[in-house]
Chains A and B, each alone.
Chain A
Amino acid sequence: MAKKLMKGSEAIAEAAIRNGCRFFFGYPITPQTEIPEYFSERMFEEDVNGCFLQAESEVSAINMVYGAATTGVRAMTSSSSPGISLKQEGISSLCAAELPCVIVNVMRGGPGIGSIQAGQGDYYQAVKGGGHGDYHLIVFAPSSVQEAIDCMGKAFDLADKYRTPAMICADGIIAQMMEPVELPEIRDYKVDPAKKPWAATGYDCKNPVGQRADVTSLYVETEELDVLHERLQGTYKVIEANEVQYEAYNMEKAEIVVTAFGTVARIAKSVIDELEGQGIHVGMLRPITLWPFPYEAVHKAATQPGVKAVLDVEMNAGQMLDDVKIAINGAQKIEFLGHCGSHLPTVEEIKAKILAMKEGM
């Protein structure tokens, strides 16, 4: 299929549809409003025949997703940072009720209302919790429009496979940018009660077949909650063992390894390409899944023979840096370059930082 130019937000929406998502509930907020706008037309086209509904709030939107997900269908919502904060009670609840769904966060600068430009300040929120309780989301951080499309498919599949919500952490740049993309074929998703026995697909108590749906996040007894946590933590271990995704770039002769995700990783890539032309070898380890985090890959890259230092670059105060440090566990020198809010690190400053590090070696 020929590539076509597509805006990130629209590509995300179309990718969801092509992966069987027929239920979208959301609320407008910049810079992701093109996602609900796209769904508001596309969901009602003949080859889709789905449901778009503008909710009264982000809180309601995530709870509508919760409702739709209980029936086994593929459902999603999208928002941007402040709206994702509002959704947290629902996200925690979806995890506890073990309901698959996809949440897209087009990150902008925070905290508070913050800015509407791209941000990366929601790393902790996405990866370390956000809502209350011990839970994880599978979190993808695409760094191109094509990768955002690919992540959508993966997110829906893994959400169903592991009965857990998955999140796409994009940012304002990924959502607003147009790039050439290839879309997957459109596929339908039919709820199979045999595969989703927990779903509310109808239960006749006078003529019972299968089990009665009892979807809840309530486990009043300590022992009952323990059982849930054993199951959740067991699932998380399987996910950590099998679903880590990352990109290793220009690692062969690397002396310095950059760790970065999303848009910032692309800025860093520009620097790496430029320096390579000057005979300065810099590699990059870019997590595609922020959770599960590629601890092993980061450790391996940082301790690869010839590597003398690691530079973590982020558009926040060093949130992923914590995980990079855990991964490296003291085995390599780590430096950090970053700005908070929506202050994007530039090619020039990353280059200057790397050259200064190189100087000090």
Chain B
Amino acid sequence: MLEQCIFAGFGGQGTLLIGKFLACAGLMEGKEVTWLPSYGPEMRGGTANCSVVVSDKPIAAPVISNPSAVIAMNLPSLLKFEHTVQPGGVLIINSSLTDAKSSRDDVKVAYVPATEIAEQVGNPKGANVVILGAYMALRPEVVKVETLIEAMKEELGPRKMKFLDGNVKALHAGMEYVKNHQ
């Protein structure tokens, strides 16, 4: 298994954080992982993205040119990464923020109204975790959901533990949405 995943969105959408959740879960399952963020002026109100690799074998390049999965939290991210997805890969689009449709017919595309779903489960800031849920539904072989929740605990830490429940709900809602709309 070699998963090369790009999480992309605006700064402040929690895009880097969901990438961290995935990397941390991979580590917890004894897999090799790398997490590489974009940084600098891009982050100051612009686009933010991170490349996460999860693998059974030692990871050579942490830099991804052709991802097996792309999570596009907004239109600029979709435009930037849509063409890079490997044939047979996964492209998840936050349809709450864009009506754009992908022209790719060789990848699995999922449109997820993440903001609305997050609001429905009472966690309006949890759109990022809804999207992560969608990813988990489409990529069950990368890490287990239980591990991902453990990773969320670890990354949130005691100070932000109060956000765990809302995030778990958002995660499941994202998974459910994809299962019901396939």
Q: Do A and B come from one complex?
A: yes
Do A178 and B23 contact each other (CB < 8 Å), given the known contacts A5-B33, A5-B35? yes
Smallest CB-CB separation from A145: which chain B residue?
B34
Cα-based distance from A270 to B4 in the complex (angstroms): 12
Interface centre among A4, A5, A266, A268 (most CB of B within 10 A): A5
Smallest CB-CB separation from B65: which chain A residue?
A346
User: Residue A3 at the B interface, CB < 8 A?
Assistant: yes
Do A173 and B60 contact each other (CB < 8 Å), given the known contacts A5-B23, A30-B39, A30-B40? no
User: Residue B132 at the A interface, CB < 8 A?
Assistant: no
Smallest CB-CB separation from A118: which chain B residue?
B63
Of residues 45 through 80 on chain B, the ones whose CB sits less than 8 Å from some CB of chain A are: 59-63, 65
* B37 x A176 contact (CB < 8 A): yes
Q: Which residues of A contact B150 (CB under 8 A)?
A: none
* B27 x A5 contact (CB < 8 A): yes
User: Residue A239 at the B interface, CB < 8 A?
Assistant: no
Q: Which residues of A contact B33 (CB under 8 A)?
A: 5, 178-180
Partner of B36, one of A4, A30, A177: A177
Cα-based distance from A31 to B34 in the complex (angstroms): 18
Q: Which residues of B contact A5 (CB under 8 A)?
A: 20, 23-24, 27, 33, 35
A235-278 interface code vs B (CB 8 A; 1 in, 0 out)? 00000000000000000000000000001001111101100000
Partner of A270, one of B20, B39, B61: B61
Q: Which residues of A contact B59 (CB under 8 A)?
A: 266
User: Residue B116 at the A interface, CB < 8 A?
Assistant: no
Do A176 and B36 contact each other (CB < 8 Å), given the known contacts A266-B61, A273-B60, A347-B61? yes
* A31 x B40 contact (CB < 8 A): yes
B20-33 interface code vs A (CB 8 A; 1 in, 0 out)? 10011001000011
Q: Which residues of B contact A268 (CB under 8 A)?
A: 60
User: Residue A103 at the B interface, CB < 8 A?
Assistant: no
Do A266 and B60 contact each other (CB < 8 Å), given the known contacts A178-B23, A179-B33? yes
Smallest CB-CB separation from A274: which chain B residue?
B60
User: Residue A344 at the B interface, CB < 8 A?
Assistant: yes
Cα-based distance from A87 to B60 in the complex (angstroms): 33
Smallest CB-CB separation from A174: which chain B residue?
B62
Q: Which residues of B contact A177 (CB under 8 A)?
A: 34-36, 62
* B65 x A266 contact (CB < 8 A): no
* B-binding residues in A (CB < 8 A): 3-5, 30-31, 116-117, 172-173, 176-180, 263, 266-270, 272-273, 344, 346-348
CB distance from A144 to the nearest CB of B (A): 9
Interface centre among B20, B35, B41 (most CB of A within 10 A): B35
Cα-based distance from A303 to B35 in the complex (angstroms): 37
* A267 x B60 contact (CB < 8 A): yes
Given contact pairs A31-B39, A178-B23, enumerate 13 new A-B contacts (beta carbons under 8 Å). Answer: A3-B27, A5-B27, A5-B35, A30-B40, A173-B63, A177-B35, A178-B34, A180-B27, A263-B63, A269-B61, A344-B63, A347-B65, A348-B65
Smallest CB-CB separation from B62: which chain A residue?
A177
Q: Which residues of A contact B37 (CB under 8 A)?
A: 176
CB distance from B156 to the nearest CB of A (A): 14
CB distance from A302 to the nearest CB of B (A): 22
Cα-based distance from A263 to B61 in the complex (angstroms): 8
The 4 closest A-B pairs by CB, nearest first: A269-B60, A270-B60, A178-B35, A270-B61
B91-109 interface code vs A (CB 8 A; 1 in, 0 out)? 0000000000000000000
CB distance from A175 to the nearest CB of B (A): 9
CB distance from B136 to the nearest CB of A (A): 19
Partner of B62, one of A117, A266, A346: A266
Cα-based distance from A57 to B38 in the complex (angstroms): 26
Q: Which residues of A contact B63 (CB under 8 A)?
A: 173, 263, 266-267, 344
CB distance from B106 to the nearest CB of A (A): 18
User: What are 27 inter-chain pairs, A to B, with CB distance below 8 A?
Assistant: A4-B27, A5-B24, A31-B40, A116-B39, A116-B41, A117-B40, A173-B36, A176-B39, A177-B36, A178-B34, A178-B36, A179-B33, A179-B34, A179-B35, A263-B62, A263-B63, A266-B61, A266-B62, A266-B63, A267-B60, A267-B63, A269-B60, A269-B61, A270-B60, A344-B63, A346-B65, A347-B65
Cα-based distance from A263 to B62 in the complex (angstroms): 9
